[in-house]
Amino acid sequence: MTSKNSKVVELDQVVIRFAGDSGDGMQLTGSLFSDSTAFAGNDFATFPDYPSEIRAPQGTVSGVSGFQIHFGQKTVHTSGDLADVLIAMNPASLKANMRWIKEGSIIIVDEDAFIDKGIEKAGYTTDPTLDGSLEKYKLIKAPISSMTKEAVKHLNLDMKSTLKTKNMFALGIVMYLFNRDTSLIDKYFEQKFKTNPLIVEANKAVLAAGNHYAETIELFGNTYKVEPAPLAKGRYRNVTGNIATAWGFMAASERSGRELFLGSYPITPATEILQELSKHKSLSVKALQAEDEIAGIVSTIGASFTGSLAITTTSGPGLSLKSEAIGLAVMTELPIVIVDVQRGGPSTGLPTKSEQSDLMQALYGRNGEAPVIVLAARSSVDCFYSAYEASKLAMEHMTPVILLTDGSLANGSEVFRIPKVAELPAINPPLAKANDADYKPYKRHPEKLNRQWALPGTPGLRHRIGGLEKLDVVGTVSHDPLNHERMTYLREEKVMRVANYIPEQEVFGPDVADLLVVSWGGTYGVMLTVVEKMREQGKSIALAHFRHIMPLPKNTEALLGRYKKIVVSEINNGQFVKYLRMNFPQFRYEQYNKIQGLPFMVAELEAKFNELLK
């Protein structure tokens, strides 16, 4: 409900950033606001940002957890550059996020947290809410902690449980500010905490108290409304990239008629795929939490041998541990999908931060000549379609596929229009038939060069399998040097011929321009946004965003040759640009890289591209 004295202002788009200590529930707060945004019919994208330390010191900048959402009445491609609204639950979260907000933005703080001890732990020498340093912003000082206590005092909750609900007071304020209905969140409480009615009542009370406080105190001269985006008719859900990835595999399992097996070891930020798939035993999904990364992929190879759609999920450190077994899958020519949810490295690196860190490892990180198909999802929603395509390519071409996503896609969320499985492309695994007199283990399809998938126990299809080199066609163990050379070429050519079964590379913008922006994977949204913006300004610029990495689309060389300048932008130190230089050394490539565990911002890309256009 909006106060009669406030004016409702309609906005095209808004960026909100929730920030607090790691225990303040900012991820849940942001997720619930995202759900309300989906229900309101807005398009949106989110960016969760949380610390790598499991128990960072409370009240310090290193322990700040954040969640940003960008929503609008038009198509949204990014989680936004700078925030229009910042909710800061303590001094440290204010200090950590000042560089991520616009001048003139609304800052809502819990004034109860701005005591001397908290101010000092955050690294301030004076209270920033009193020393004039926030004069360029619309500062709202709300007694969030004390009002939370007041809202639940009739429930006789202990203090720890009481303060765990204060994030709902902040959410209530923001829901009022954007004219949102809180009933959807009340239903979430009823479902999430159905075994603990007291917690349900407490969260409802605090949410309502925050909403009522914002209305009655008249904190804001205006409230805001963002009209629904023009989305096509259908059933929609707010999904993270990890959830979308899991659903993509389940869809591929249904469409191919192959039962789904996941063998994985938990690792940030990929664990949620394992968690999601483990919920779907009713769909014949088998999810094994293995004792380590090697056991995870070896069990996956075994499941593939028996005829399952077999996948394993990991992040960069786990991918390196799986490398020998990936070589085994290449040698046995069995279809598996390895999902690498990339994070900052090397070693443990930045486990909760996103980076395009593993491309070279995906392409070449194995002993011997061991080529695999490599795909890179471009958005949280595209994780669904990329997982589906990775499954299709693996099974139809009988080879391992590495699917690269990243932390920002995996944990970020978008509005997902749920497709009908029957409308997705058909998947036709090359299953060998029982008692086929012409069956040979390494007899290949004349075009795809894939071998047939002979399931154990099928009459007449007994064959050898293992890591030792096999004799062409016959499949017995062979140490003949010429045969090894032939099989090496065949395995590589099989992967390269996948280019005949994937789309040609598309370009957003003109076929000829002064500058071609080249990108891949999870940077698609921000790249598209900046190129759209610059084209509206009349700039001669185009975008080629690659989803298929190995093999590259057939038209890649011709495409690159049409542009005066090429700039390759990546969240790493230049891995894709090195790959392009290897394959197409005749072209000159500029590059623009960022390696901070943070996504690109539209403004920084626009500045760089304008510099190149000069």
Asked whether 359 and 575 are in contact (CB, 8 A), the reply is yes
Provide DSSP, 442-480.
B-B-TTT-PBPB--TT-TT-----SSS-B-TBT--B---
99-115 confidence digits (pLDDT tens): 999 999 999 999 999 99
Asked whether 121 and 63 are in contact (CB, 8 A), the reply is no
Class of domain 515-613 as given by CATH: alpha beta
Asked whether 231 and 43 are in contact (CB, 8 A), the reply is yes
Instruction: State the pLDDT confidence band at 236, using cuts at 50, 70 and 90.
Output: confident
Q: Which pLDDT belongs to residue 233?
A: 86
Report how far residue 14's alpha carbon sits from residue 16's, in angstroms, rounded to the nearest whole number: 7
Report how far residue 435's alpha carbon sits from residue 443's, in angstroms, rounded to the nearest whole number: 15
444-456 confidence digits (pLDDT tens): 999 999 999 999 9
Taking 90 as the threshold, does the pLDDT of residue 435 lie above it? yes
Taking 90 as the threshold, does the pLDDT of residue 587 lie above it? yes
Chain-wide mean pLDDT for the chain? Answer: 95
Question: Which runs of consecutive H residues, i.e. helices, occur in 365-455?
Answer: 382-397, 407-411
Residue 140 — φ and ψ, nearest 5°?
A: -115, 115
- Give the three-state DSSP class for 307: coil
176-218 confidence digits (pLDDT tens): 999 999 999 999 999 999 999 999 999 999 999 999 999 988 7
Nearest one of 209, 110, 197, 190 to 151, comparing CA atoms: 209
Asked whether 340 and 314 are in contact (CB, 8 A), the reply is yes
Strands 515-520 and 373-376: unpaired
Provide CATH 3.40.50.970 ranges for the chain.
240-423
β-pair partners for 47: 68
Report how far residue 521's alpha carbon sits from residue 505's, in angstroms, rounded to the nearest whole number: 14
Instruction: State the pLDDT confidence band at 6, using cuts at 50, 70 and 90.
Output: low
- Give the three-state DSSP class for 396: helix
Q: Which pLDDT belongs to residue 51?
A: 83
Protein fold of 240-423? Rossmann fold (3.40.50)
Nearest one of 374, 277, 242, 369 to 319, comparing CA atoms: 374
58-74 confidence digits (pLDDT tens): 889 989 999 999 999 98
Q: Which pLDDT belongs to residue 234?
A: 87
Residue 46 — φ and ψ, nearest 5°?
A: -125, 160
Provide CATH 3.40.920.10 ranges for the chain.
7-225
Asked whether 7 and 73 are in contact (CB, 8 A), the reply is no
- Give the three-state DSSP class for 114: coil
272 CB neighbour count, 10 Å cutoff:
20
Q: Which pLDDT belongs to residue 5?
A: 57
Buried b (16+ CB within 10 A) or exposed e, 503-519: eebebbbeeebebbbbb
Taking the complete model, does pTM exceed 0.85, yes or no?
A: yes
What is residue 130's DSSP assignment?
T
What is residue 471's DSSP assignment?
-
Nearest one of 322, 210, 320, 314 to 270, comparing CA atoms: 314
Report how far residue 263's alpha carbon sits from residue 322's, in angstroms, rounded to the nearest whole number: 12
Give percent above pLDDT 90 in the chain.
Answer: 90
What are the angstrom distances between the C-alpha of 148 and each of 84, 192, 208?
Answer: 25, 20, 10
Provide CATH 3.40.50.920 ranges for the chain.
515-613
Report how far residue 319's alpha carbon sits from residue 40's, in angstroms, rounded to the nearest whole number: 40
502-558 confidence digits (pLDDT tens): 999 999 999 999 999 999 999 999 999 999 999 999 999 999 999 999 999 999 999
Both tokens of residue 371? 């080529």
Say which residue the tokens 């080529």 belong to: 371
The amino acid occupying position 236 is Y
Class of domain 7-225 as given by CATH: alpha beta
Nearest one of 44, 100, 47 to 77, comparing CA atoms: 44
Report how far residue 396's alpha carbon sits from residue 495's, in angstroms, rounded to the nearest whole number: 11
Asked whether 476 and 470 are in contact (CB, 8 A), the reply is yes
Report how far residue 18's alpha carbon sits from residue 390's, in angstroms, rounded to the nearest whole number: 35
Nearest one of 416, 4, 29 to 189, comparing CA atoms: 29
Both tokens of residue 453? 């998938």
Residues 6+ apart with CB under 8 A from 542: 507, 508, 509, 510, 511, 513, 515, 516, 517, 531, 563
Strands 43-49 and 64-72: antiparallel
111-162 confidence digits (pLDDT tens): 999 999 999 999 999 999 999 999 999 999 999 999 999 999 999 999 999 9
355-393 confidence digits (pLDDT tens): 999 999 999 999 999 999 999 999 999 999 999 999 999
Nearest one of 35, 37, 30 to 13, comparing CA atoms: 37
Taking 80 as the threshold, does the pLDDT of residue 56 lie above it? no
